[in-house]
Amino acid sequence: MNFLDGLNAKQAQAVEHIDGALLLLAGAGSGKTKTLISRLAYLIGAVGIDPASILCLTFTNKASSEMRERATLLLQNQGIHSPTSPLLCTFHKFGLLFLKRYISCLGRENNFVLLDGDDCKKIIKGFESKIATSTILSAISHYKNSTLSACEVLQNVSDSEERKIAKVYEAYQNYLERNNLVDFDDLLYLSYLIMEQNPSIAQSLSKKYSYIMVDEYQDTNPLQYKILRFLTCTHQNLCVVGDDDQSIYGWRGADIRNILEFTQDFPDAKMIKLEQNYRSTPEILRVANALIEKNSQRLGKVLEPMLESGREVEVCSYESDREEMQAISKKIIHLHKSGVKYEDIAILYRLNGMAKGVEDGLLRAKIPYKMIGTLRFYERAEVKDVISYLRLMVNLNDDFSLLRVLNRPKRGFGKTSEEKLLHGANGRKIREFFENERECKECIGEKNYKTLSEFFALIAELNNALAHSFEKFEDTFTQKIDILSSYPIAEKEERRLNLKELFASLKEELNANKELQEYLNDLSLSSESDKEVSNSVSCMSVHLSKGLEFDYVFVIGCENGFFPLMGDGGDIEEERRLGYVAFTRARRELNLSYVHTRYYRGKASSLPPSRFLYEANLLEDSQEIFTTGAEVMGAGAMVRHKIFGVGRVLEATGKGKEMKVRVSFGGNERVILASFLELL
């Protein structure tokens, strides 16, 4: 029986490690899943470990299912059939199984109910706090994953808002206990409390699971770490697999120190590095290695390419985000015509807010696509509401759109009134029925008739405003129609920004001499053609791309301020790890792009190219970083500043990000950082 077939030397070494702690530091594309599965099968089939004494913890159900299927197949191929099985599950599934057996230690019954996210929101709203529900739930989740009780939080609050949140946390937890409910975080938090208060239970479990494996260890948080310490209190047979260079979830509680300090937590631990990469070309790995080596918080490894050479990583600059997507769309069309499947192509972005520009570009180019992890822009409720108003401006007989927004925002025209209206119309168009004033009033009443009359007058007013100017139309719309009034306060800002994006897009199309009806028709056609997206370009944030791979990857928005995204409390090392993840999603070709002006969240931003492009040795850190084409922003060049207007460069000093330019704006001389100027 040979469980080592197809493994390289380091992978085989990891598989054959039996007793004692093991850190398997697995680089991107290094075959870590194959290694983990082979080790699991090896322990059972070659060493003779009882499968029931093996616990393997993952972060997703998909990962645990895949590991279970592949390990079973590997054992079956070796002719091994065991009456027992290892426990392969997520951390939270383990917590659920644990609580079913031990929650009585907290004086509670094991017939508890697990709440979903909406249930938790309803409970929090019942406490009528002025703080946003989402903020409170996020804080409670953070406290539980940091193993902090409401009492402990209350003893250490630093301001009045934190105290208010802590009081809600206390009331919320009391409510759950009284009603024998648990939320998602309780699955681990309560399990931790039970093991902390009952060391004998932790010891019993540790003896039961004498071999423990953990996947994606770099993503563990303080609570998961403490549970693992309990589970290994009687032995050190813990094998963790992860990549410190792909630790990108610090914002949701993951603690990179868990993997960085593993050999300190387990002094006799062995560390094996998987550095042979079977995914990407040498050209892609060269830039990924160059970028990530700039981090100081890492154990250190260099990905070694096992594939043949391919194309150099391409970096492109464009004047605007629209031009960026036009160019990328042309490249995708060319790739598709040459035989590449759309499903082998991905577009990645740092911020979900960039998805709108990507979506618009692919729509214009009629390229099938799917948005992963976010609702397609034109399918968002508030966007569909505005589009319904626009459709009515073109066609008052569009009853589908009329019924969607007649009472949105609320005008007192509820479901009962709507049913009377449809019954009275009896198959006629609502507009036609409305024009028969006497019949319509008898059917729906004077008040509702007046509401309907005012609604049609509003549509006419919007059309008149648009005929005058787009600015007048937008002002009229926002003043007369409060679309966001029906949404929770916590959601309003995000939805407001979405509407701002929609109006900006509409303005751009109308300014390009496109009729409103043509704009709406294009949206309708695209939505119909996009229903079948099995063979489509994948569009997603870099965070969601982790664990995936594509032959061709386009990473947009490579500008300082967008990628890396740096604000208050920003972590440049985690941003750099995100860049590393983005680069290593590509198998054959990697394309990176930045623009001189990006329209985002309703305003234009002019930012310099991402520092990552220099750190990965893709751009030279020289004056050329502030050029358009091959021209250098030197003396005599004409430039534009968003406040001071057009001027002429008199002198340029320094280089790279520190380059300063002395400019004459109509005789007024100013010294300005080059990154704030646009070359004309």
Name the residue with tokens 């208050």. 568
Q: Which amino acid is at 146?
A: S
Per-residue pLDDT band at 654 (split at 50, 70, 90): low
Banded pLDDT at 275 (limits 50, 70, 90) = very high
Query: What is the arithmetic mean of pLDDT over 435-463?
Result: 90
Q: What are phi and psi of 667, to 5 degrees?
A: 100, -20
The single residue listed with the structure tokens 């970096």 is 315
Distance CA 550, CA 308 (A): 17
The answer, yes or no, to whether the previous bond of 488 is cis (omega within 30 of 0) is: no
Cβ atoms 29, 549 nearer than 8 A: yes
Q: Which of 218, 246, 281, 584 is catalytic?
A: 246
The pLDDT, as a whole number, for residue 417 is 86
The overall average pLDDT reported for the chain is 87
Q: Mean per-residue pLDDT for 208-237?
A: 96
| pLDDT, tens digit, 9 for 90 and up, residues 495-548 | 888 888 888 888 888 887 778 877 776 665 454 434 444 689 999 999 999 989
CB 227 within 8 A of CB 9: no
- From the list 589, 29, 545, the residue with the least C-alpha distance to 338 is 589
Distance CA 667, CA 649 (A): 12
* Catalytic-labelled residue, pool 215, 359, 559, 574: 215
CB atoms within 10 A of CB 632: 15
Q: Which of 10, 11, 32, 144 is catalytic?
A: 32
What pLDDT was estimated at residue 632?
44
Identify whether 311 is a catalytic site residue: no
Closest listed residue to residue 70, CA positions, set 90, 59, 56: 56
State the CB neighbour count (10 A cutoff) for residue 584.
30
E-state strands within 474-614: 537-541, 550-555, 586-600, 603-605
Mean pLDDT within 46-53: 92
Q: Model confidence at 424, in pLDDT bands (50, 70, 90)?
A: confident
Q: Is the pLDDT of residue 202 over 50?
A: yes
Catalytic choice (298, 322, 585, 588): 585
Cα gap 665→318, rounded to integer Å = 26
- Structural domains of the chain ordered from first start: 9-93+192-274 (3.40.50.300), 113-179 (1.10.10.160), 275-376+532-619 (3.40.50.300), 377-528 (1.10.486.10), 629-680 (2.40.10)
Catalytic residue among 33, 78, 478, 628: 33
Mean pLDDT of 603-611: 84
Quickly list DSSP for 546-581: TT--EEEEEE---BTTTSS---TT--HHHHHHHHHH
Q: Which two tokens stand for residue 415?
A: 């479901």
Active site residue 33: yes
Note if 185 is an active site residue: no
Q: What percent of the chain has pLDDT over 70?
A: 93
Distance between CA atoms of residues 69 and 55, nearest Å = 15
- pLDDT tier, 110 (very low <50, low <70, confident <90, very high otherwise): confident
pLDDT value of position 627: 35
Q: Could you read off the pLDDT of 394-421 as tens digits, one per residue?
A: 888 888 788 888 888 888 888 888 888 8
Helix (H, G, I), strand (E, B) or coil at 206: helix
Residue 557 Rama label (left phi>0; alpha psi -120 to 50; beta): left
Higher pLDDT, 517 or 346: 346
